[in-house]
Amino acid sequence: MIAARHHNPNDPIYISFIIPFCVIDKSKHLNIPDTWVENNYYTSVSTTIQVIRNINKSQVSGNLFEIILVDNSHNWPDIDLPNVKVVKGLQALTKEEILKHEDFTSHKGTQNLDYIDWNNDTMWASLAFHTGIRNSTGDWIILQHNDVFYHLNSEVEMSFENLIYDIETDKLSYISVDSKKISLLTYIINKKFFDKYIFEPKFIPKFGGMVDTKQVGLADAYFFISRRDFFDDYDVDWHYGDSNHGATLYCLENNLPYLHLGPYYDNPSYDTETSSNLNTYFYDGKPFVTHLKGGFSENKLSDIGELEKFKEVLDENN
């Protein structure tokens, strides 16, 4: 990395990391919806704590940062962790409480209740990010799952500053990881829109049907960094698939540039082979962030073998 890209040390960066947390504890949640499956509470909490420790270690001394953990299931333990602010999410509330809650009514995607699927786990993760943004104070927002970690190599301390430098210099709206596939359903619902960007679309049956294209790929919230004001006109969505795909559509609609870091594991249009769910993404040619695909940000627990492997590598990087 070149020194010229480093921010002026007299001009500190203030980053808000926002992480959703959801795990079911039958001793606290008696009326569990069918879509909620009880996970290993201890494993989910302890691994999330390791992820938080990893964030703390990844930050440069002198930079300002906070970690907003959005407790969707209202059972995060009452413990003190450095730089962590815990806020309550919406998923554990009653429907009557949710409909009156400002974090729900302020989200652009909840204006028409006819389109709300109360059993959609991705919606709750998106609303958790929305709650986290509303409770954050940083000039820069990083959305991330609680099943990702940053590689603490010799240059990672500058990575966040250099990402921000790239956004400012290239006038990018955001930098995210992966370039996610467009499902057939998403394409059909938005056909007129996608046909502006995808020429002669080809459809393949993988994953229930998808568009085989490299012309457009979608963002996600595995790792997503942007200026705070990006969310003045856009709210983290769930309508196009997983959480935050709509950020890409918003940028395309408004002719705004963006960047997706590879490899593109979640898009079969790219020949990216992996024998593991531990998907590592690169920045400036070095491993930057690893995501446990099929992890537990939305109360989903990955294959136990992959989870144990994730914890081992996470230990090595902490």
Mark whether 63 and 206 lie in a shared domain. no
Model pLDDT, residue 4: 35
Mark whether 185 and 310 lie in a shared domain. no
Return the axis-axis angle of helices 304-317 and 41-58, rounded to nearest 10°: 30
Residue 2 resides in a domain: no
Model pLDDT, residue 69: 98
Residues ≥6 apart with Cβ < 8 Å to 228: 16, 133, 136, 138, 139, 140, 141
Residue 32 resides in a domain: yes
Q: What residue ranges of the chain have pLDDT lower than 70?
A: 1-11, 25-39, 60-62, 153-158, 297-304
What range does the domain containing 65 cover? 11-180+219-317
CATH code where residue 85 lies: 3.90.550
Model pLDDT, residue 275: 75
Q: What is the pLDDT of residues 194-219, one digit of tens each?
A: 888 888 889 988 888 999 999 999 99
Mark whether 70 and 127 lie in a shared domain. yes
Model pLDDT, residue 302: 60
Model pLDDT, residue 3: 32
Q: How many domains does the chain have?
A: 2
Residue 6 resides in a domain: no
Residue 3 resides in a domain: no
Mark whether 74 and 170 lie in a shared domain. yes
Give the span between the Cα atoms of 109 and 239, in whole angstroms: 8
Mark whether 196 and 296 lie in a shared domain. no
Model pLDDT, residue 317: 75
Model pLDDT, residue 143: 98
> Torsions phi, psi of 298, nearest 5?
-115, 40
Question: Strand pairing partners for 289?
Answer: 150, 281
Q: Supply the DSSP string of 155-188, one letter for each residue.
A: THHHHHHHHHHHHHHTT-SEEEE--BPEEHHHHH
Q: How many CA atoms lie within 13 A of 208 on its CB side?
A: 8
Give the span between the Cα atoms of 286 and 280, in whole angstroms: 10
